[in-house]
Structure formats: C-alpha cells, structure tokens
C-alpha cells in the first residue's frame, strides 16, 4: 500500500472543484475540501502547497512530459512542430477530463488571483520549453520566441476546446491554433 491513499490527489481536486462551484472559491476551506474527499487536511497538504494549487495538480508532470517530448523530437522537425507534437501527445489526458476542465476554467475566470497563478504557470511552461529547445540546439532568440508563441497558441487552443459545442478534441484545436500561427507568421 502506498504512503497516501490511492487517488487522493484526484479526489481532492474533484472535491475542490465541486465545492468551489457550489460555495465559491473564497468561502471554501482546505478542511472542507479534505472532508468532501474523505481525506485529512494533512493529506491535502501532502499533495498541494495551498488551496490555489489544487486547481493546478499536474502542472509539473505536464511540463516534464512536454519538455521530454520536445527533447526527443526528430532533429529534422522544426522547433514549432516539435512543440506542437509535444502538446498533442498530452492532449488525450485532457480530453478525458473535459468536464472538470470546463468547471476549473469557470473558477479560474472568476478570480483574479487564480488567473495570475495560471499566468505564472504558463510562464514557467514557456521557460521550460525554451530550455528544452536550447538543449536541442535551438539558439536564441528562436528558442524563447518559439516557446512564447507556442504557449500562446496552446492557450488559444485550450480556450477553443473548452468552448467548442461540437466537442472536438484538444488535439484538433491545437493543430488549428498552430496552423493559424503559421498562417499569421507568413502574412507579417
């Protein structure tokens, strides 16, 4: 048996999203989240530094997987295409959590401090991608520029995915957003 209850992180995240939706982010405590999940506050803090972090549970793993895929991309693949492929490789995980992602998005959109936290997370993603590109031999400013526009295209794809009444996959929206980026770059 593991040190922490199986699925604890997922249970805490689901409980938090439910409570934030029902009661509001500010009026929900860590103790209430833990209780709803059937866990202790201590277990909550074993998984998350604070209440805000429960909305970003897999950010470190996501960044690591994206950067690993960028680093493993074929040498002949363009930097932008390598990042697109890396994002696309992670998209099934998000597709399986669409409903929770939509509820999470509504919570983030309603709170300035959470949006600021999200911006910091996206900046960290961009920095990590730029590092992965530099490790791949991409020089500056190309590495930073590619990472920055890739994160912007990712955010656009994510917003389109969450708003899509046809429920197209995140991968579909990633390809559409990166195609839009390619077209825009050619018209500058």
Q: Mind listing the pLDDT tens digit for each residue in 38-94?
A: 999 999 999 999 999 999 988 889 999 999 999 999 999 999 999 999 999 999 999
Would you state the pLDDT for residue 57? 84
Residue 20 lies in a domain: yes
pTM summary value: 0.88
Would you state the pLDDT for residue 3? 46
12 band by pLDDT with thresholds 50, 70 and 90 = very high
* Statement to judge: residues 149 and 163 lie in one domain: yes
* Statement to judge: residues 62 and 24 lie in one domain: no
Residue 1 lies in a domain: no
Residue 66 lies in a domain: yes
114 band by pLDDT with thresholds 50, 70 and 90 = very high
Would you state the pLDDT for residue 6? 61
Rounded mean pLDDT of the chain?
A: 93
Query: Does residue 4 register a pLDDT over 80?
Result: no
Residue 145 lies in a domain: yes
Q: What is the pLDDT of residues 125-172, one digit of tens each?
A: 999 999 999 999 999 999 999 999 999 999 999 999 999 999 999 999
Residue 155 lies in a domain: yes
* Statement to judge: residues 96 and 183 lie in one domain: yes
* Statement to judge: residues 14 and 69 lie in one domain: no
Residue 163: give the domain boundaries.
58-187
* Statement to judge: residues 70 and 113 lie in one domain: yes
Residue 74 lies in a domain: yes
* Statement to judge: residues 41 and 82 lie in one domain: no
* Statement to judge: residues 119 and 94 lie in one domain: yes
CATH number, domain of 17, equals 1.10.10.60
Q: What is the 3-class SS of the chain, one letter each residue?
A: CCCCCCCHHHHHHHHHHHHHHHHCCCCCCHHHHHHHHCCCHHHHHHHCCCCHHHHCCCHHHHHHHHHHHHHHCCCCCCHHHHHHHHHHHHHHHHHCCHHHHHHHHHHHHCCHHHHHHHHHHHHHHHHHHHHHHHHCCCCCCHHHHHHHHHHHHHHHHHHHHHHCCCCCCHHHHHHHHHHHHHHHHHHC
**Number of domains present in the structure of the chain:** 2
Residue 3 lies in a domain: no
Q: Which residue did the predictor score with more confidence, 151 or 188? A: 151
CATH number, domain of 171, equals 1.10.357.10
Would you state the pLDDT for residue 187? 82
């Amino acid at each position: 048996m593991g040190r922490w209850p199986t699925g604890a992180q997922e249970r805490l995240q689901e409980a938090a999203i439910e409570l934030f939706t029902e009661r509001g982010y500010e009026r929900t405590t860590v103790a209430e989240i833990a209780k709803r999940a059937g866990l202790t506050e201590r277990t909550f803090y074993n998984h998350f530094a604070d209440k805000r972090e429960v909305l970003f549970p897999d950010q470190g793993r996501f960044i690591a997987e994206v950067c690993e895929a960028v680093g493993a991309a074929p040498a002949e693949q363009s930097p932008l295409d390598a990042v697109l492929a890396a994002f696309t490789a992670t998209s099934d995980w998000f597709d399986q959590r669409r409903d929770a992602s939509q509820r999470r998005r509504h919570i983030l959109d309603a709170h300035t401090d959470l949006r600021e936290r999200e911006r910091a997370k996206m900046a960290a993603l961009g920095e990590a991608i730029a590092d992965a590109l530099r490790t791949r031999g991409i020089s500056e400013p190309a590495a930073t520029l590619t990472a920055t526009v890739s994160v912007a295209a990712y955010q656009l794809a994510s917003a389109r995915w969450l708003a899509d009444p046809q429920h197209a996959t995140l991968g579909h929206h990633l390809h559409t957003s990166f195609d839009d980026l390619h077209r825009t770059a050619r018209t500058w």
